[in-house]
Chains A and B, each alone.
Chain A
Amino acid sequence: MADSLSRKRLSFNRIAIHATLLVACAVYLVPLLVMLLTSFKTPDDVRAGNLLTLPVEWTLIGWVKAWDTVQSYFWNSFMITVPAVIISTFIGALNGYALSKWSFKGSNLLFSLLLFGCFIPFQVILLPMSFTLGKLGLANTTAGLVLVHVIYGLAFTTLFFRNYYVGVPDALIKAARLDGAGFFTIFWKILLPLSTPIVMVSLIWQFTQVWNDFLFGVVFASGSAQPITVALNNLVNTSTGAKEYNVDMAAAMIAALPTLLVYIFAGKYFVRGLTSGVVKG
C-alpha cells in the first residue's frame, strides 16, 4: 500500500522532471530548427511566412550559395584552429608536467600567475598584443593569429594538465629517473601515454574556443585571411541587396558545424576526462 503510493509519487516526479527537460530542450532546439528549416527554403518561401512551417519546396540553393561565399574562410579557420589547438595543448602538457613533477623555486608562484591568465578578458590584451605582433612582423598574418590563440589558451591547457599530472604518483617519475630516463624521455614514454583523457579535454576545449573566436579574428586578421566567424558576420551584415535569410542560415550552420561535430563525437571524452582521476599506482 505504502509502497505503491510512493511509486505513484515517484512516477509523478519523473513526469515532472521529464516535462521540464523537454521544455528546456525545446527552448534550445527551436532556434536550431528554425535555422535548418529556413536554410532549406527558397527566398520567396522565407518572405512568405511562418518560421516554423516546413519548406514548400526543399532546396539547396541557400547552402550552395553560402558555401561559395564562406568556403575560403572556412579553410582559413582550419588553418588557424588546427595548429593553435595542437601547439597550445602540447605546450600546456609540457608546462603541466614541469610544474607538477619538477617543481622548482617559485614554481607555485608561476602557476598562480598562469592561472591569472584564465581570468583576463580578451579586450584587455588587444592593444598590447597588436603592438607585439607588429614588432614581430606578424601583424595581419595567420601565424600571428595562431600565436595569439596559443598564448591565450596556454593558461587553460596548463591548468588542465598540471592538475591531471599532480595525480600521477611521484614514484613513477623517480623509478624512471633511476632507469636512466631524462626530462623529455619521461614525458614522452611515461606521462603522455597516460594522458589520453586530459588531451581530449584540452583538444575539445581549445578547438571550440579558437574556432568560435570572433574578437581576435576581427582584430588581428584582415581581408582574405579572416576566419569564418568574421566572414559570417560580414555576410549577414551586408546592407546591399535583399536579405537572403536562407543563405545566412546555411552559412551560420556551416560555421557552427565543426564544433557541433566535435561535441557529438567527442563530448563523452570531455566529461570523462574532467571527472576521471589518473592512474592507479
Chain B
Amino acid sequence: MAALELRNVRKTYGNAAQEALKGINISIEAGQFLILVGPSGCGKSTLMNAIAGLEDISSGAILLGGEDLTGVEPKDRDIAMVFQSYALYPTMTVRENIAFGLKIRKTPAEQIAAEVDRVAKLLQIEHLLDRKPSQLSGGQQQRVAMGRALARRPKLYLFDEPLSNLDAKLRVEMRTEIKLMHQRLKTTTVYVTHDQIEAMTLGDRVAVMKDGAVQQFGTPQEIYNNPANLFVASFIGSPPMNFIPVALENHEGRPGVRLDSAGGSVCLPLPQLASNLADGREAVLGVRPEQIGLGRGQEAGGPVLEARVQVVEPTGPDTLVYVEVNGVQVCCRIAPVDTPAIGSNMLLELDIERLVLFDPTTGARIA
C-alpha cells in the first residue's frame, strides 16, 4: 500500500483563468523522500497546501496510508509542515513554539518537556530554547521551524523550500543534516525545492513539475539519465545539458546525426535512433558535459570530433571547456590534467549510448 497517493489532483483558484494543478498523479511508499521540483509558480506550494488540507482541491483524491483525506481537517491529517518563511510564532519562545502543537493536542506536561528536549538535542538548539524568534539568526530560525515539525511524530512531513532563505554554505550543511535526519527517522517526506541539486541529492523519488503538471516522476538517476522531455533535461543538471541542433540522417545505412565543428564535419551514428526517423528532419541532441570526453584518435575506434577551445573554466575537481559545435557553445567536463590551451583544437569523444534526442518544436523525447 502506498504511503501517499495523489490521484488526478486538480485545483483552480477562485477566479483564476488557469488551473494551478492539472491532474497530478504521484504515489510513494512509506519512508520515501519525494522531491517536488520546478520553476517558481509551477504549483509546488499549491500541491503542498492541498496535501496538508490548507487548500481544498477541485477534483481528484489524496490518500495518506490508504485513507482518503477528502474533507479531513488539517489538524486531523497527522501531517507536519515546515514553511519557507519558517512561520514561527513571534510572541512565543522557541520552547513554546516547539511545544505549541503538543499542548493543543493535550499531551501531558512531562511528555511535552521530554519531547522538546529530544528535538532540541537532535537539532542542537538546546541553548536557544528560551529565546524569542526575533533574537535568532536565519539559520537558527530554520532549525526551530524544523524542530516544531519534528516534535510530533506525524505520518508525513511536508517541507516547502525550507532552505531557500539560507546562505549557500548553510544550505549545503542543512541539506546533509536533513538527509541524515531522514535516514534516522524514516518518516515519509514531501520536499519542495526549485534547486535541482537539492532535488538530486535528497530525493528517493523526484517529480519535476511545470505549469501545474508533472513532467516526469522517477528516481533521481532516471530523471538525470533518461529525461522525458526537453524541459526536464534542461532543468536537472549543473552545468546544464548541452542542446545541439542537428539534422537526422542515414550514414552508410546507419541512422545518425551530423555535427559540424572547426575540425570538419562528422556523422555520429546513434544506434538508439529508429532508422525510419532519420529522414533529414531537425532535432535537438542532448549531451551532458560529462558525456563528452577527450578523444583518443581515430584508431582507438569511434568517430571523433575536433573543435576549437573557446573558454576554459577550472572548477577544481574538473575543468569545464567550451567549444563550438553546429553553431552553439558546448560545455565539456574533463580532467584538469587534460586542460587544453585556449584557441587550440581539441579531439572530443561522445558517450554515444547516453545521448538523447528531442523534437525541437514539442520538446518530446525522440530517442
Q: Which residues of A contact B (CB under 8 A)?
A: 169, 171-172, 174-182, 185, 189-190, 193-194, 279-281
Contacts and interface: CB of A to CB of B under 8 A. Distances in A.
Contacts of A176: 89, 100
B75 interface: yes
B322 to A, nearest CB: 42
Given A193-B91, A280-B90, A280-B134, A175 B83 contact: yes
B79 A178 contact: yes
Contacts of A185: 104
Given A174-B74, A182-B75, A281-B141, 17 more contacts: A172-B89, A174-B49, A175-B89, A175-B148, A177-B74, A178-B52, A178-B80, A179-B75, A179-B100, A180-B75, A181-B104, A185-B104, A189-B89, A189-B100, A190-B89, A281-B85, A281-B87
B157 to A, nearest CB: 11
A179 B85 contact: no
19 contacts: A171-B83, A171-B84, A171-B87, A172-B90, A174-B81, A174-B83, A174-B87, A175-B83, A176-B89, A179-B100, A179-B101, A179-B104, A181-B104, A182-B75, A189-B100, A194-B90, A194-B91, A281-B86, A281-B133
Given A171-B85, A185-B104, A178 B90 contact: no
Count class of interface residues, chain B: 20 to 34
Nearest to A191: B91
B223 interface: no
A55 to B, nearest CB: 52
Contacts of B141: 281
B88 interface: yes
Interface string B131-169: 001100000010000001000000000000000000000
Contact of A175 (B81, B91, B105, B134): B81
Nearest to A175: B87
Interface string B266-309: 00000000000000000000000000000000000000000000
Interface of A is mostly: helix
A281 B140 CA distance: 14
The interface centre, meaning the residue of B49, B52, B104, B105 with most chain A CB atoms within 10 A of its CB, is B104
Contacts of B86: 281
A172 B87 contact: yes
A169 B86 CA distance: 10
Contact of A174 (B52, B88, B101, B105): B52
Contact of B54 (A177, A181, A194): A177
A42 to B, nearest CB: 56
A179 to B, nearest CB: 4
Interface string B88-118: 1111000000001100110000000000000
Contacts of A193: 91
B89 A178 contact: no
A127 B147 CA distance: 59
Contacts of A177: 54, 74-75
Contacts of B54: 174, 177-178
A281 B75 contact: no
Given A194-B91, A281-B88, A180 B79 contact: no
Contacts of B85: 169, 171, 281
B89 A181 contact: no
Nearest to B84: A171
A178 B160 CA distance: 14
B151 to A, nearest CB: 9
Contacts of B89: 172, 175-176, 189-190
Given A169-B85, A181-B104, A279 B74 contact: no
Contacts of B148: 175, 179
Given A174-B83, A179-B100, A185-B104, A279 B75 contact: no
B83 A180 contact: no
B81 A178 contact: yes
Nearest to A193: B91
Given A279-B90, A280-B90, A180 B52 contact: no
Contacts of A180: 75, 101, 104-105
A194 B87 CA distance: 14
A181 B99 CA distance: 13
A52 B74 CA distance: 71
B56 to A, nearest CB: 12
Nearest to B48: A174
B150 to A, nearest CB: 13
A172 B141 CA distance: 14
A169 B104 contact: no
Closest 4 interchain pairs by CB?
A: A179-B101, A171-B87, A193-B91, A180-B75
Contacts of A281: 85-88, 90, 133, 141
Given A190-B89, A280-B90, A281-B85, A178 B104 contact: no
A176 B87 CA distance: 9
Between B54, B84, B105, B133, the greatest number of chain A beta carbons within 10 A of the residue's beta carbon is seen for: B54
Contacts of B100: 176, 179, 181, 189
Contacts of B80: 178
A169 B101 CA distance: 19
Contacts of A179: 75, 100-101, 104, 148
A174 B73 CA distance: 12
Contacts of A178: 52, 54, 74-75, 79-81, 101
